[in-house]
Amino acid sequence: MWGSVVDISEILIGFVQVAIALVAFTTISAVVVQVSESTTESLLALRLKYILLFSTHLIVLGTLPLVFYQLVPENGQFWRYSALASLVTVSAVGYVGFLVLAPIVLRDPKKSWPQLILAAAFSTLGLCTNVWVIFSNEPSFWYVSTLSLILAATLVMVVGGVLSFPIFDVHESKKQ
Protein backbone atom coordinates (compact mmCIF):
# COMPACT_ATOMS: atom_id res chain seq x y z
CA MET A 1 0.00 0.00 0.00
CA TRP A 2 1.33 3.45 -0.97
CA GLY A 3 0.86 5.18 2.38
CA SER A 4 2.24 2.52 4.68
CA VAL A 5 5.38 3.42 6.56
CA VAL A 6 7.13 0.17 5.72
CA ASP A 7 6.93 0.77 1.96
CA ILE A 8 7.51 4.48 2.09
CA SER A 9 10.50 4.20 4.45
CA GLU A 10 12.41 2.36 1.73
CA ILE A 11 11.66 5.18 -0.69
CA LEU A 12 12.79 7.79 1.82
CA ILE A 13 16.00 5.89 2.52
CA GLY A 14 16.57 5.63 -1.23
CA PHE A 15 16.36 9.41 -1.58
CA VAL A 16 18.82 9.83 1.29
CA GLN A 17 21.23 7.34 -0.29
CA VAL A 18 21.14 9.16 -3.63
CA ALA A 19 21.76 12.47 -1.86
CA ILE A 20 24.74 11.02 0.01
CA ALA A 21 26.14 9.70 -3.27
CA LEU A 22 25.78 13.20 -4.78
CA VAL A 23 27.67 14.69 -1.82
CA ALA A 24 30.45 12.14 -2.40
CA PHE A 25 30.49 12.95 -6.13
CA THR A 26 30.78 16.65 -5.37
CA THR A 27 33.62 16.10 -2.92
CA ILE A 28 35.57 14.00 -5.39
CA SER A 29 34.89 16.50 -8.18
CA ALA A 30 36.17 19.38 -6.08
CA VAL A 31 39.45 17.55 -5.45
CA VAL A 32 40.11 15.89 -8.81
CA VAL A 33 38.54 17.93 -11.58
CA GLN A 34 40.15 20.75 -13.50
CA VAL A 35 38.04 23.55 -14.87
CA SER A 36 37.17 23.47 -18.57
CA GLU A 37 37.49 26.41 -20.94
CA SER A 38 33.71 26.64 -21.28
CA THR A 39 33.27 27.63 -17.63
CA THR A 40 35.01 29.67 -14.99
CA GLU A 41 36.51 28.41 -11.76
CA SER A 42 34.03 30.39 -9.70
CA LEU A 43 31.07 29.03 -11.69
CA LEU A 44 32.21 25.43 -11.16
CA ALA A 45 32.66 26.16 -7.45
CA LEU A 46 29.15 27.62 -7.30
CA ARG A 47 27.68 24.61 -9.09
CA LEU A 48 29.37 22.29 -6.61
CA LYS A 49 28.07 24.42 -3.71
CA TYR A 50 24.55 24.15 -5.12
CA ILE A 51 24.88 20.36 -5.36
CA LEU A 52 26.05 20.21 -1.74
CA LEU A 53 23.27 22.55 -0.63
CA PHE A 54 20.46 20.66 -2.37
CA SER A 55 21.89 17.23 -1.45
CA THR A 56 22.10 18.16 2.21
CA HIS A 57 18.57 19.51 1.99
CA LEU A 58 17.41 16.23 0.45
CA ILE A 59 19.07 14.25 3.25
CA VAL A 60 17.25 16.33 5.87
CA LEU A 61 13.90 16.07 4.06
CA GLY A 62 14.32 12.33 3.60
CA THR A 63 14.97 11.71 7.29
CA LEU A 64 12.33 14.05 8.77
CA PRO A 65 9.36 11.68 8.23
CA LEU A 66 11.31 8.80 9.75
CA VAL A 67 12.03 10.88 12.86
CA PHE A 68 8.51 12.27 13.15
CA TYR A 69 6.99 8.82 12.69
CA GLN A 70 8.78 7.77 15.88
CA LEU A 71 7.22 10.74 17.70
CA VAL A 72 3.72 10.91 16.15
CA PRO A 73 2.80 7.67 14.34
CA GLU A 74 -0.99 8.03 14.34
CA ASN A 75 -3.11 9.11 11.35
CA GLY A 76 -0.19 10.03 9.11
CA GLN A 77 0.25 13.34 10.87
CA PHE A 78 4.02 12.85 10.74
CA TRP A 79 3.89 13.83 7.04
CA ARG A 80 2.38 17.18 7.91
CA TYR A 81 4.84 17.74 10.76
CA SER A 82 7.67 16.83 8.41
CA ALA A 83 6.40 19.34 5.84
CA LEU A 84 6.13 22.07 8.48
CA ALA A 85 9.63 21.34 9.77
CA SER A 86 11.01 21.24 6.25
CA LEU A 87 9.72 24.76 5.65
CA VAL A 88 12.44 25.88 8.08
CA THR A 89 15.11 24.15 6.01
CA VAL A 90 13.53 25.45 2.81
CA SER A 91 13.90 29.00 4.07
CA ALA A 92 17.59 28.39 4.84
CA VAL A 93 18.20 26.77 1.44
CA GLY A 94 16.25 29.54 -0.28
CA TYR A 95 18.28 32.20 1.45
CA VAL A 96 21.65 30.64 0.66
CA GLY A 97 20.73 29.35 -2.79
CA PHE A 98 18.82 32.26 -4.20
CA LEU A 99 19.88 35.31 -2.22
CA VAL A 100 23.57 34.53 -1.66
CA LEU A 101 24.72 32.24 -4.49
CA ALA A 102 22.36 33.18 -7.35
CA PRO A 103 23.55 36.82 -7.67
CA ILE A 104 27.13 35.56 -7.98
CA VAL A 105 26.11 33.10 -10.70
CA LEU A 106 24.17 35.80 -12.55
CA ARG A 107 27.30 37.97 -12.73
CA ASP A 108 29.37 35.15 -14.25
CA PRO A 109 29.81 35.60 -18.03
CA LYS A 110 29.69 31.86 -18.71
CA LYS A 111 26.49 31.10 -16.80
CA SER A 112 23.91 28.72 -18.19
CA TRP A 113 20.42 30.22 -18.31
CA PRO A 114 18.63 26.89 -18.94
CA GLN A 115 20.33 25.36 -15.90
CA LEU A 116 19.40 28.30 -13.67
CA ILE A 117 15.80 28.38 -14.89
CA LEU A 118 15.31 24.60 -14.53
CA ALA A 119 16.83 24.47 -11.05
CA ALA A 120 14.73 27.44 -9.91
CA ALA A 121 11.57 25.94 -11.44
CA PHE A 122 12.08 22.52 -9.80
CA SER A 123 12.88 24.18 -6.47
CA THR A 124 9.80 26.40 -6.62
CA LEU A 125 7.56 23.47 -7.55
CA GLY A 126 9.13 21.53 -4.67
CA LEU A 127 8.19 24.32 -2.29
CA CYS A 128 4.61 24.31 -3.63
CA THR A 129 4.21 20.54 -3.24
CA ASN A 130 5.73 20.77 0.24
CA VAL A 131 3.05 23.27 1.27
CA TRP A 132 0.41 21.05 -0.36
CA VAL A 133 1.45 18.18 1.96
CA ILE A 134 -0.06 20.12 4.86
CA PHE A 135 -3.51 20.43 3.27
CA SER A 136 -3.74 17.29 1.15
CA ASN A 137 -5.58 14.03 1.77
CA GLU A 138 -2.55 12.19 0.34
CA PRO A 139 0.38 13.76 2.20
CA SER A 140 2.78 10.88 1.52
CA PHE A 141 2.36 11.31 -2.25
CA TRP A 142 2.99 15.05 -2.11
CA TYR A 143 5.94 14.67 0.24
CA VAL A 144 7.62 12.16 -2.09
CA SER A 145 6.81 14.53 -4.97
CA THR A 146 8.63 17.27 -3.08
CA LEU A 147 11.65 15.02 -2.66
CA SER A 148 11.54 14.15 -6.36
CA LEU A 149 11.51 17.80 -7.38
CA ILE A 150 14.40 18.66 -5.05
CA LEU A 151 16.31 15.71 -6.50
CA ALA A 152 15.54 16.99 -10.01
CA ALA A 153 16.93 20.43 -9.11
CA THR A 154 20.04 18.75 -7.72
CA LEU A 155 20.49 16.66 -10.85
CA VAL A 156 20.24 19.77 -13.02
CA MET A 157 23.17 21.16 -11.04
CA VAL A 158 25.04 17.85 -11.36
CA VAL A 159 24.67 17.94 -15.14
CA GLY A 160 25.98 21.52 -15.17
CA GLY A 161 28.88 20.49 -12.98
CA VAL A 162 29.76 17.48 -15.12
CA LEU A 163 29.58 19.57 -18.29
CA SER A 164 32.17 21.87 -16.67
CA PHE A 165 34.75 19.08 -16.84
CA PRO A 166 37.49 19.60 -19.48
CA ILE A 167 36.62 16.37 -21.29
CA PHE A 168 33.49 18.07 -22.65
CA ASP A 169 35.57 20.81 -24.32
CA VAL A 170 36.56 18.41 -27.11
CA HIS A 171 33.97 19.85 -29.47
CA GLU A 172 35.32 23.36 -28.80
CA SER A 173 38.90 22.47 -29.81
CA LYS A 174 37.73 20.75 -33.03
CA LYS A 175 35.92 23.92 -34.17
CA GLN A 176 39.07 26.06 -33.86
Q: What is the pLDDT of residues 49-102, one digit of tens each?
A: 888 888 999 999 999 999 999 888 777 789 999 999 998 888 888 888 778 877
In eight-state DSSP terms, residue 96 is I
Q: Kindly report, residue by residue over 143-152, the tens digit of the pLDDT.
A: 999 999 999 9
Tell me which of 62-66, 70-74, 114-118, 160-164 is least confident. 160-164
Q: Which domain holds residue 79?
A: 5-175
- Which has the higher per-residue pLDDT, 170 or 46? 46
Q: Kindly report, residue by residue over 7-30, the tens digit of the pLDDT.
A: 788 888 999 999 999 888 887 877
Query: HEC profile for the chain?
Result: CCCCHHHHHHHHHHHHHHHHHHHHHHHHHHHHCCCCCCCCHHHHHHHHHHHHHHHHHHHHHHHHHHHHHHHCCHHHHHHHHHHHHHHHHHHHHHHHHHHHHHHHHHHCCCCCHHHHHHHHHHHHHHHHHHHHHHHCCCHHHHHHHHHHHHHHHHHHHHHHHHCCCHHHHHHHHHHC
The total domain count for the chain is: 1
